[in-house]
Structure 1
Amino acid sequence: MPCRKICGMGSVVNMIRFHYSFFKSVPVILAIGAVILFAIVLGALFFSQRAGDESTDAVAANRLNLRILRLLSSIQDAETGQRGFLLTGDERYLGPFTRSVSTLPSEMAAVSPLLAQLDLPQASIDQLKDLMAKKLSELQRTVDLQRAGDTAGALAVVKSNEGIRQMDEIRDIIGQLQQSGIQNSAVHINALRSTTTWLSTIIAISAALLVVLAGGAMKLIYDHTRQIEQAQNELSHINENLEATVAARTESLQRANSELQTYAYIVSHDLRAPLVNIMGFTEELDRASGVFRSYLSRMDANPADPDAKLAIEAVETDIPEALGFIRSSMRRMDNLINQILVMARAGNRELRRERIKLGDLVEEMLATLRHRLDDNDIAVDMADNLPDVQSDRLALQQIVGNLLDNAIKYMDREKAGRIGIRGWRHGMSVTLEISDNGRGIADGDRERIFELFRRSGRQDRPGDGVGLAHVRALTRRLGGDVRVQSTFGEGTTFQVTVAADLEKMKKEEAGA
C-alpha cells in the first residue's frame, strides 16, 4: 500500500512537470501567431489604402467625363441660341449663347490639363481648343451681322457649311475623349473590385485566425485545469503521513495555477490588440464600400454590363455579407477575451487596504446606475450608518456594482421595483445585505448561479455568467463569502460578508 501511494504521488509530480514544460512553450506559439496576424494586418492596411486611392481615381475619371460632355453641351447651347436669334431677331434667344461665350474659354482651359493626364495626344487637345474658338467666332459673326440688320449676310455665313464642319469635328474629338475617359474609369473600377476582394479575404482570414487562436487558448486552459483537478484528486488519496511531500506538491500546484492566471492574461492582452486593428480596418472597408456604392449610383451603371453587374454585386451583397460575418466573429471574440480577463484578474491583482465608508461607496455605485434606476422606476431604501471597513476599495466596488446591476436587470416589470440595502458589523466581520423584489431564483439554481458561465431562469437579459462567480471569488479573497436567499417570483437577498480589517486577516493567516 505505501509503495502504491508513493508511486501515485510520483505520477502526479511527473504530470505537473510535463504541463509546466508544455506551457513554457506557449509564448513561442503566441509569438508565431502574432507575427502572422501582424503580416495580415499590414496586408489589410495596404489594400485598404489602395481601395481608397482607386475609388478616388474612379470618381475623378467620371467627373472628367461629365466636364467633357458639358463642353459639347455648351457649344450646342450657343449654336441653338444663335439660330433662334437669326430666325426671330429676338434678343431673348441669345441667353444660352451669351452664357456659353463667357464660360467656354475658362472651362476649356481648366479641362485641358486633365485631358493631358489621360495620355491623349496634345495635338487633339489643341485642335479641340482651336475648333471651339473658331466656332464661337463664327457664331459671334452671324449674331453681329443680324444685329446690324444684315440678315442676308448672316444667313450666307450659316449656309457656307463652315459651322457644320466645325461642329462635326468637335463631336468627333469629344467622342474620342469620352471613349478614353470611359476606358480609364473601367481600369480603376476593375482595380477597385480586385482590391476589395483581396481586402475582404484578408479580413475574413484574420477573423478566422483570431477565433482559432482564442479557441485554442481556451482549450489549453480547460485541459490544463482538468489535469490540475485530476492531480488534486490523486493527491487526496496519498498517504496522509507524508505531510512534507504533500505540502511540496501543493506548492507546485499553486505555482502552476499562478502561471495559468498569468498565461490567461497574456493571451487576452495579445489577442485584443490585433482585434482592435481589424475592427478599424473593417470600418475603413465599410467607408470605402460606401464611397464606391455612391459612385455607382451616380454613374447610373447598367446592370446588363458584366463589369457593372460584378461591381454592384460586390458593394451591395458580397462586401456587406463579409463585413457582417467579420463583425459577428469579432463580437464573439471580444466576449471570449473579456471572460478570460475576468478570470485572470480575479485572483491576480494585489489587494490594497484602506478605510472605506460603506455608505459612501454604495452611494457612488448607485449614482452610476441612477439613469437605469429612474428608467425602470425602481426605489432604493438604504439604511443609515452603514459600517466602515478596512478593505480593498476596487474589489468592494465590483462586488456592490455586480449585485446592484443584477437587482436592476432581473427586476419584475409587472410591479414597482424596490431595492433595500443595509449592513452591520459582527465580531471581526462586516456584512452588507442587498435585497430586491424582482423575479427571484428557483431553489435548484441558488448554488449554480455562483458557478462560472452559469445563469438561471429565463435568458432574456444580457450576460455571460461571470458576474456572481466573480463576486464570490472577490468576497473570499476579502476574507468572507456571499450567501443568497430567494423566493421564486417574490425577490432575492444577497448577504456579502468580508473581513472588517483586511490587513489583520492577512497577518492571522500568515501566523497560522
Structure 2
Amino acid sequence: MALGFVALLAAALAIGGITVRNQGYTAAVIHTLDVRQAIADTQIKFEQSETARRGYVLNGKPLFREAYDRSARAIEPGLARLRRMTRDNATQTARLDTIETRFAQLRALRTISMALVDTGRIAEAQQRFRDDASVPLMRAIRYRMQAMTDQESALLAVRTDVQSRATGLFVAVAGVAATLLVLVALLSLVVVRRYTGDLSRSRDDLRAFNDHLEEQVVIRTADLSRANEEIQRFAYIVSHDLRSPLVNVMGFTAELAAAAVPLAELIDRVEADAPHLLTEDARLAAREDLPEAIGFIRTSTQKMDRLINAILKLSREGRRTIAPEHIDPAQLVDTIIGSIQHVIDDRGALIRVVRPMPAIVTDRLALEQILSNLIENATKYLQSGRPGEITVSGEIARGRVVLSVADNGRGIEPRDHQRIFDLFRRSGPQDQPGEGIGLAHVRALAYRLGGTIDVQSTLGEGATFSLNLPTELTTQDIKA
C-alpha cells in the first residue's frame, strides 16, 4: 500500500511538472499568435496610410488627408510594440531594423508630397509621386513584413506540435495516475475493512478487559485503603509507644542532670579541702564527661521527640476529612505572606504574587499547609550575596491548576530532585533547622488532594516547585 502511495505521489509530481511545462508551451503559442496579429495590424496601417496618401495626391480631398494622418500615427507605436515582442528573436529584430529604415525614407517622401497637395500644387505632387521611390520602399516593407509573418507561422507550427505532444503526455500520465488512484483506493478499502474488523475485535476484548479491570481496581483500592489505614494506625501506635520510653529517658536525664550538680559541688569541695583524695579521672568525669554525656542524651531525645511528633502529625493528617471549597489562591497566598511577614523581612526576601490566579475547589487547610511550607522554604534557603526574590503564580494547564513557587535561592542538585520529598531526607548544607519532614508532608497532602508536586532546579540558580491539582476536587480525586 505504501508503494502504491509512492507511485501515486510520483504520478502527481509528474502531472504537476507536465502542467507547468504545458503552461509554458501555451504561453509561447499565445505569444506567437500575438506577434502575428501585431505584424498584421502594423502592415494594415502601412497599407491604409499609403492608400490614403495616393487618394489625397489624386484628388486633394480632406477626407483622404484625415485617413492618412490617422493611420500614419499608428505605424510607429505598432513598430515599437513589435520590437518589444520580438526582442528575443535576432532575425526578426534585424528585419525590423530594415523596415524602420525604409519607413523613415518613405515618410520623408510622403511628407513632401502631402505638403505639395496641402498648398494646392497637386500636379507637381502627382509628378513627384510617379518619379520618387515610394513604390520600391513599400515593396521592401511588404516583403519583410511577410517574412516576419512567415517566420512566426513556422514558429507557431513548431510550438503547436510541442504543445500537442505535451498534452498527449499529460493525458497519458493522468490516465496512469487515475489507474493508480483506483488501485490504491481499492487497496485502501481492503485495508480499512480489515482494520475495522481488527478494531471491532480489539474493542470487544478491551471492553471485557475493562470490565474485569474495573472490578480489580475496586478490589485493589479497597485493599490499599485498608493497608493505608493499617499503616496510619501502626504509625500512630508506634509513635505513641515510643513516646512513653522517651519520656522516661527525658525524665531520668533531667534527674541525672540534677544529680550531677551536687556531685560537681562535692568535687569542688574535695579539690579545695583535700586535693590528695581527688583523682584526675574523677575530676574529669564529674566536670566534663558527665555533663557532656547528659547534653548528648538530651539533644538526641529532643530530636527523637521532634521526629515522633512529625510522624504523629502525618498520621493525623492522613485521617483528617478533606472538605473541598471554592478558593482564590492569590488571596490565600496573601494571608500566608501576612502571617510570616516578619520572617520574610528578617531574611531580606521579596515575594511577588502574579495575578490573576485561577480559582480552585479543594481543601483550604491542606492547600494552605502546602503553600506555607513552599514559601517558607523559599525564604529559608536563599543564596548568600543576592537579595531573595520569590514569585508565586498560577495557570491552567491541560484542564488542571498548576500553582508555582519560584525562587532565586541556592538551588537543588539534580540527584536530589526526588529524594527531597522522602521522609527525613534533605539536600545541600544542613545550616538551617529542620528534620526533613516538610516536603514529605507536602507530597502526602498533594497526593490526598488528587495532585502531584514536582521541582525544577539548577544548583546555585534557584528552584521552582510546581503543585498540580484538579480544578475541582471530587470524591474520586480524594486519596485515602
- Which TM-score band applies after superposition, normalised by the shorter structure? 0.3 to 0.5
| TM-score calculated relative to the size of structure 1 | 0.45
Greater length-normalized contact order (CA 8 Å, ≥ 6 residues apart): 1
| TM-score calculated relative to the size of structure 2 | 0.48
